[in-house]
Amino acid sequence: MEDRRVNIIGATSVITLIIIIIIARVLLKLSNAFFLICGAGVAVIFAVFAFVFVSLSNKRRSKILESQLKSEGQELRIEYSFLRKVAGVPTKFRYKELEEATDGFQSLLGRGSSALVFKGILNDGTSVAVKRIDAEERGEKEFKSEVAAIANVHHVNLVRLLGYCNSSSAPRYLVYDFISNGSLDCWIFPKRESQRRRHGGCLSWNLRYKVAIDVAKGLAYLHHDCRSRILHLDVKPENILLDESFRALVSDFGLSKLTGKDESQAVSTIKGTRGYMAPEWLLEKGISDKTDVYSYGMVLLEIVGGRKNVCLVEDEKDKSKRKWQYFPKIVNEKVKQGKIMEIVDHRLMEECDEREVIKLIYVALWCVQEKPRLRPSMVNVVDMLEGRIRVEEPPGTRMILVDFLCVDDDDDDNNNVTNNNNMLRLDTMYSDQSNVECNSTYSFETTVLSGR
């Protein structure tokens, strides 16, 4: 636009001067005044041409320099992007990029309490899962926790965070690798009619055992091999994904908490998922890596049994009513009766190995001990599952938490009394939890590992 303006001004000036010279020639003929005006006009015309030439030359050089700088900047951005990918640093995406990648957020993969997950394809052809965090009251906290927890964490059994899209208000977005076989719950729990179209099936026993080890390795890495200990705090089948070779990857770090290596306990005001929360968390006595161990034990029982650890079932006495059933309580009773194989998912009875079943059940019961000091670390769990540590029969547990969770809905008064009594019993058991956790010598290591 500026070039055009310069040209118009120059052309107008030259034409005007020529017209003035012609008029002076007609009126003044060949007098001295005419030659003076003619000489001045020609000089101005040359000056105009020189100005236009210099202006166009400077503009051309500016364009060449700008083009060079733009090319160099693009090369630097490409190199920077390459280095970020090599280093595993998450990329900050623009909202428009994610909208195009997901085709307007059309392909829904799953939903949680405060987030939706969509499938997308980036410009370079990479398949991704885009998590949209919608809840305003927890969105910012979840977003910061998830990015901080997984941004610099790299392990074969943890889902990789590719990037994020932040804004001053909800929603916010997290971009993960797309995991083709979906979540573990689709592969171990029988599908309801409403879920028939979901991707999944019945996972074989060998793959279930492999998944148990994979998840244990992922959690062991978070607890022991990271620069800062990371507590996942939401370990459940829905947050365990399976890739094309059925390798398990732990995902969804929305509730995660970073702690120092020397911190034995931490405090979390956010509550996890019912059925997977350890007693000390319910009682707000502090959380630790043993809190994740408890959740892992619950998942392990679900992997073996192919059923939810807490579910509503028909009342045998009154078919019109339903009551809560706690699967770990059934497992505990079957172990006491010596009927461990009755715990196994009935779809796997012909293929499972009884010795492996016993090992998984024993490890799970060690993990769900109500006293955190009795639970093994995730490193010890990996060693037990891979045969480096002998798995002893776990001590009996009162499972006070069972009575707290398994209450019938038809008797509110009795439930309130039962809940109050159970809360008192639980609170008494954990009243000195901080001292027990730090000073007790009666731990999993002293009861089991000392005799290996």
How far is the C-alpha of 350 from the C-alpha of 205, rounded, in Å?
A: 10
Q: Which entry of 214, 234, 252, 289 is annotated as an active-site residue?
A: 234
Would you list which residues are annotated within the binding site?
A: 131
Using alpha carbons, select from 177, 158, 154, 175 the residue that is nearest to residue 166: 175
Q: What are phi and psi of 21, to 5 degrees?
A: -65, -40
Contact in structure between 303 and 208 (CB atoms under 8 Å): yes
Q: Which two tokens stand for residue 311?
A: 């579910």
Contact partners, residue 108, CB within 8 Å, separation at least 6: 116, 117, 118
Pairing of strands 172-177, 127-133: antiparallel
Pairing of strands 91-92, 161-165: parallel
How far is the C-alpha of 318 from the C-alpha of 314, rounded, in Å?
A: 8
The neighbour count for residue 451, using CB atoms within 10 Å, is 8
How far is the C-alpha of 299 from the C-alpha of 276, rounded, in Å?
A: 8
Residue whose token pair is 């997977």? 276
How far is the C-alpha of 439 from the C-alpha of 448, rounded, in Å?
A: 18
Would you list which residues are annotated within the binding site for ATP?
A: 131
Q: What are phi and psi of 298, to 5 degrees?
A: -65, -40
How far is the C-alpha of 142 from the C-alpha of 95, rounded, in Å?
A: 19
Q: Is 234 a catalytic residue?
A: yes
The neighbour count for residue 182, using CB atoms within 10 Å, is 16
Which of the 8 DSSP states describes residue 233? -
How far is the C-alpha of 329 from the C-alpha of 230, rounded, in Å?
A: 30
Catalytic site residues?
234
